[in-house]
Amino acid sequence: MDAEAMAVRCPTAHLIDVGILPRHIFQINTHGVATVIWTGEAYDYVVGVLWKLAQEDERMLDVFEGLGYAYCKRTVPIERKDGNVSRSMIYQAIDSRIGRPKNGYLEDVIGAAQDHQFPHIYIERLKEWKA
């Protein structure tokens, strides 16, 4: 989500929009990093950032995210602010067991959420992971 980190990892990536992944929740796993979990509940959602990636950027991100051993890819419907739905690729952690965030990790997530002007109530929910 962090624009500065994306600029380093994926230099030709372009920010598209903020989007919502419905019927999922944000969770920190036992490795201390984020994932999304399907709940099927209409009131659950995850807010994120949509990026346009070139193939080379995606390959670099695959390596950084640990594709195949830490994360897998899924294609999911993302609701955009304009009401349109786009099929988008996400990384979902293979380990879905609940854990505690690594030192500094959640602060980075919250900082990026604030930078992208996520809804206040959603940012407050992210902060609950600090407790």
Taking residues 104-111, report their average pLDDT. Answer: 96
Between CA 131 and CA 129 the distance in angstroms is 6
At 106 the pLDDT is 96
CB 65 within 8 Å of CB 55 = no
Percent with pLDDT over 90 in the chain: 92
Q: What is the dihedral of CA 45, 50, 55, 57, to 10 degrees?
A: -100
Between CA 87 and CA 49 the distance in angstroms is 13
Element (H, E) at 2: none
At 81 the pLDDT is 86
Mind listing the domains of the chain with CATH numbers?
3-121 (3.10.490.10)
At 3 the pLDDT is 86
At 126 the pLDDT is 97
| Residues 6+ away with beta carbon under 8 Å from 53 | 10, 13, 61
At 2 the pLDDT is 84
Q: Taking 60 as the threshold, does the pLDDT of residue 131 lie above it?
A: no
Tokens standing for residue 14 = 């372009």
pTM score, whole prediction: 0.92
